[in-house]
Amino acid sequence: RADAVDVNMGCPMRKVVSSGHGAALLKTPERVYEIFCAMSEAVDIPVTGKIRAGWEDSSAVEVGQAIEAGGGAAVTIHGRTRCDFYEGHADLEVIRRLKQSVGIAVIGNGDVRDWVTARRMYSITGCDAVMVARGCLGNPWVFRTFGERRTST
């Protein structure tokens, strides 16, 4: 039994988006709403979504509101657009705008490598949690520093 279902609408890979999946869904908030309505009605567990800031420009607020209106319990947002792929820096402002626009939990993602960058994301965006992804690939012990810092502050 799963505890939740997470819909990944953040994948930027060409083979995924060329068929209208992954980050391609960021172009159609109305479709995201339909997906979350159907999934929320079909299961008795929370349905969450992972998105990017948008396709080329930011659509995160509209997509996040569609997730919430469709019954979504939370949204994780990677602060880059699909066109950014993994280049540049995560846009913390778009995460902050999303957090201010929805009543569900917002999990910030992008450029979190350690306690300092996690704390920075929290303080700038007001997000409810952070996701560490590539930041733990080269340093799987990064999470130890999170616990150490929490007990000392």
**DSSP notation for 69-81:** HTT--EEEEEEEE
CA distance 116 to 99: 20
Helix (H) or strand (E) holding 146: helix 142-152
CA distance 2 to 20: 26
Question: Which residue among 11, 37, 83, 136 is the active-site one?
Answer: 11
Residue 10 CA to its chain's centroid (Å): 8
Q: Give yes or no: 127 in active site.
A: no
- Cite the active site residues: 11
